[in-house]
Amino acid sequence: MPGNVMNIASSNIVWIVAFFVMGVVIFQAIMFMNIAKKAAPDAGLTPTEVSRAIRTGFISSLGPSFGIAIVIVSLIALLGPPITMMRIGIIGSAATETAAAHIGAKAFGVELGGAGFTEKAFATVVWTMCLGGMGWLLVTFLFTKSLGKAEKAIRRKNPKAVASISLAAMLGAFGYLASEQMLKGLGFFFAGIASLGIMIICMSIAEKKNISWLREWSLGISMVCGMIAGTMVIALT
Amino acid sequence: MSMSQEVVRTASKAKPEPVSSSMTRFHEQSHFWGRLTILLVMIASVGLPMYLSFVLGAHPGWGAIFAGLLGYAAFIGVLWIVEPVTYFPILGIGGTYIAFLSGNIANLCVPCSSAAQKAVGAELGTQKAEIAGVLGIALASLTNTIIIILTVLGGTFIVNLIPASIQQSFVFVLPAIFGAVLGQFAFSKPKYGVMAVLIGIGVFFSPIPSLIKIASCVAISIAVIYNVEKAKDKKANG
């Protein structure tokens, strides 16, 4: 990125907007934690279970979050620190944002970070990423209420249907995501299989011996084992 | 007193879970705070490029901006609608607002939601699962946001906390996450787990456009499981 463009990309106002966005995301998470805690007793969660759910969320998020952190390092050079923070902090993955940045640069008629990547080209990139990412926000903003109403209508008619629909959606999505990843290569295959197997082992031990900490750690443990298995398979072949 | 308790008990048996007033209140609050926070981020998302264009004078012209947006929409715009609808049955109202603001739905939010639900022994589709899931996702969003801020501020410092040899194994982070989530269900519902993988592989090799492959798997699984459960109920009742 040319120096004058980098100056704009890391100017104070850009930092302020980026921190504002991150602040909103943090505020939202804390707010939802509070209102969920208030609804917890009537939903059948004891105070112990509330802290267990919170602890599990925290433990389980560490692995995936570091996975995300490793990928964004390359984006920082491409977009500058504050824009990277703002774009990755809200909806839009590193892959999506990288593609969007290339699309934006192309729309201006230059290569990303190449010759002729002026302030205006940079502005086109930011416009593209911000407006493109807004699609999900707008749909969520406008239609989550209707989706909630639809769910309520189904629940009124047939309460059991809601449970089987959400189970089916979960299985459908992750059946596909896991298959797609595991078909990518030998390492990926064994990473997925190992993780799946360790999860089953963790859960059956936790169930039999009633070990609650194992339930909290099972996602983290399975993930790490899967990653080790994949790496070992690659090293051995 | 005991009479009324008895009535409540039988009533709750016929209708497994009447939506309690505190749950209704939770949904109302979710809509309010969810929409407010998303609105604020949308304003910032327009405000930042506006600032570059009209305060710093780097306006590239509406033609270029429109071309960029059109390119983006052609690339991935279908997901703007498909993803919120596909994941709603999993995330619920509160979870949708958090997950679609902070992103990383499949690789972070849903796994954390599901892990939290399993940790408290909540069955999907119940109010208990909904609240436990929201707590899991809220924590996921919080952790992820803080790690992103630290990574951007500290540069490579945070990432270098992880030894280089281990960093390489993060290539396999996605199959490991997805395998683990699948394992949670393979444990409690092994038949459905196998079925989900078969549907997944079938759709993977099918000519269905890749952007709607997940949505297709979800639709197929809903159709199959809904009918299987219905048949089971009929058998049990008749």
Average pLDDT, chain B: 87
pLDDT of residue B238: 65
Q: A46-55, A152-161, B144-153: which has the minimum mean pLDDT?
A: A152-161
**CA distances in angstroms from A70 to A75, B48, B71, B84, B157, listed in the order given:** 10, 26, 27, 26, 11
User: Backbone phi, then psi, for A169, in 5-degree steps?
Assistant: -65, -45
The rounded distance, in Å, linking the Cα atoms of B31 and B204 is 35
CB distance A155 to A183 below 8 Å: no
Nearest Cβ partner for B151 among A42, A72, A191: A72
pLDDT of residue A180: 92
A-chain CB neighbours of B87 within 8 Å are: 169, 173
The rounded distance, in Å, linking the Cα atoms of A85 and B185 is 34
Helix axes A159-182, B190-205, angle to 10 degrees: 60
The rounded distance, in Å, linking the Cα atoms of B150 and B170 is 19
Cα of A204 vs its chain's centroid, Å: 28
CB distance B126 to B154 below 8 Å: no
**Could you tell me if A28 lies within 8 Å of chain B, comparing CB atoms?**
yes
Closest to B210 (Cα-Cα) out of A177, A49, A45, A22 = A177
Which ipTM value was assigned to this complex?
Answer: 0.92
CB distance B93 to A140 below 8 Å: no
pLDDT of residue A156: 86
Place of tokens 């699984």: B221
Calculate mean pLDDT across residues B66-84: 91
pLDDT of B216 above 90: yes
Per-residue pLDDT band at B41 (split at 50, 70, 90): very high
The rounded distance, in Å, linking the Cα atoms of B202 and B194 is 12
The rounded distance, in Å, linking the Cα atoms of B114 and A223 is 14
Per-residue pLDDT band at A158 (split at 50, 70, 90): confident
pLDDT of residue B51: 94
**Global pTM?**
0.89
B131 or B238, higher pLDDT? B131
The rounded distance, in Å, linking the Cα atoms of B93 and B138 is 13
A-chain CB neighbours of B148 within 8 Å are: 22, 65, 68-69, 72, 85, 88-89
Average pLDDT, chain A: 91
pLDDT of residue B17: 60
Q: A159-163, A186-190, B169-173: which has the minimum mean pLDDT?
A: A159-163
User: Is there a contact between B175 and A73 if contact means CB atoms under 8 Å apart?
Assistant: no
SS (H, E, C) B30-66: HHHHHHHHHHHHHHHHHHHHHHHHHHCCCCCCHHHHH
pLDDT of A157 above 90: no
How would DSSP label each residue in B72-111? Answer: HHHHHTHHHHHHHHHHHHHHHHHHHHHHHHH--IIIIIHH
A152 CB contacts (<8 Å, ≥6 apart)? B19
pLDDT of residue B6: 42
**CA distances in angstroms from B191 to A120, B115, B228, listed in the order given:** 56, 20, 11
pLDDT of B79 above 60: yes
Q: Which of the residues A131, A171, A224 would you substitute to probe the B interface, choosing the one with the greatest number of B C-beta atoms within 10 Å?
A: A171
pLDDT of B53 above 90: yes
Per-residue model confidence as pLDDT tens digits over A170-217:
999 999 999 999 999 999 999 999 999 999 999 999 989 888 889 889
Size of chain A, expressed as the number of residues it contains: 237
Query: From the CB of residue B154, how many other CB atoms can be counted at a distance below 10 Å?
Result: 13
pLDDT of B237 above 90: no
Q: Which of the residues B36, B178, B233 would you substitute to probe the A interface, choosing the one with the greatest number of A C-beta atoms within 10 Å?
A: B178
Calculate mean pLDDT across residues A8-15: 89
Per-residue model confidence as pLDDT tens digits over A46-104:
999 999 999 999 999 998 998 888 888 878 888 888 999 999 999 878 888 888 999 99
Closest to B54 (Cα-Cα) out of B42, B68, B65 = B65
The rounded distance, in Å, linking the Cα atoms of A216 and A220 is 8
pLDDT of residue B113: 95
Per-residue pLDDT band at B15 (split at 50, 70, 90): very low
B3 to chain A, closest Cα gap in Å? 22
CB distance A59 to B135 below 8 Å: no
pLDDT of B2 above 50: no
The rounded distance, in Å, linking the Cα atoms of A6 and B53 is 16
A-chain CB neighbours of B212 within 8 Å are: none
pLDDT of residue A38: 94
**Could you tell me if B208 lies within 8 Å of chain A, comparing CB atoms?**
no
pLDDT of B31 above 50: yes
The rounded distance, in Å, linking the Cα atoms of B196 and A122 is 43
User: Backbone phi, then psi, for B155, in 5-degree steps?
Assistant: 60, -130
User: Is there a contact between B152 and A76 if contact means CB atoms under 8 Å apart?
Assistant: yes
The rounded distance, in Å, linking the Cα atoms of B226 and B208 is 23
**Could you tell me if B152 lies within 8 Å of chain A, comparing CB atoms?**
yes
